[in-house]
Amino acid sequence: MTEQPHSAARAFDIQLAERAEVTDSLLCVGLDPVRGRMPLGIPDNAAGVVEFCSSLIEATEDLALAYKPNLAFFLAYGADGLDALYAVRKRIPNDIPMILDCKVGDVGSTAQAYASAWFDELGADAITVHPYLGEDSLEPFLARPGKGVIVLAKTSNAGSGDLQDKPITGDQRPVYHYIAGRAAAWDAAYPASVGLVVGATWPDQLRSIREIAPDLPILLPGVGAQGGDVAASVRAGLRPDGTGLLCSSSRGIMYASAGADFADAARGAAIRFRDEINAARLTNIA
């Protein structure tokens, strides 16, 4: 691992910063098209997924810091679902970062294949990864100039503590602290931009992670349907300049209505969530 200076090649960081300034928003809109849950008038097939997600993007594109399609929900529609993911990717404007939530992490040539699939073929600006297999499993992603690599640290699910909260052998730090420290080191050493996934369901843990990794962008799932405390998490995870978070909501926006007015309802939910985030930001900005 060789030290590399931060530069203009770190396009994902620049893209986030520019987008946050233009929109005054930290809202990351998740695209999780649940099979069997299409709104009224949308067919429950891959073509319907494209129509559904495209309408949501059109309704929220002036509000979104980023979009985050979740790979699993597209794969649930089979081979056509993968085609739908590519079609939805094309609907996202180029100036809005697209994060593929795929949580990959594997050794050697397998990791390289994932990097080629999602960065080169799909054109994702960033992906989520898990660090369980170690640094060499992430190197094919970290070595990509301009891309974002968002590492799972403290996830939003109730069972995350089974592994993530355990103390490291010979050290009282929980695993998620160690991961945050390693992610900060990777960010300094590799040309990709490194971030962290920390659930909004854990604001105290988020605060401690922000102390360890003061500069990294943090993807914050778990708000909305998962019950995360928006205000507490935003205050815990913001950088001093009022940025550094991607506050993700999927179902709370996508399924604000099951009727034909789903796009208008999604826009209304996105505005409310953005405004709730911004209200919490104001209490932190000096």
As annotated, the active-site residues are 103
- Count other Cβ atoms within 10 Å, centred on residue 221: 26
Q: Return the exposure string of 47-60: e unless at least 16 CB atoms fall within 10 Å of the residue's CB, then b.
A: ebbbbbbbbbbebb
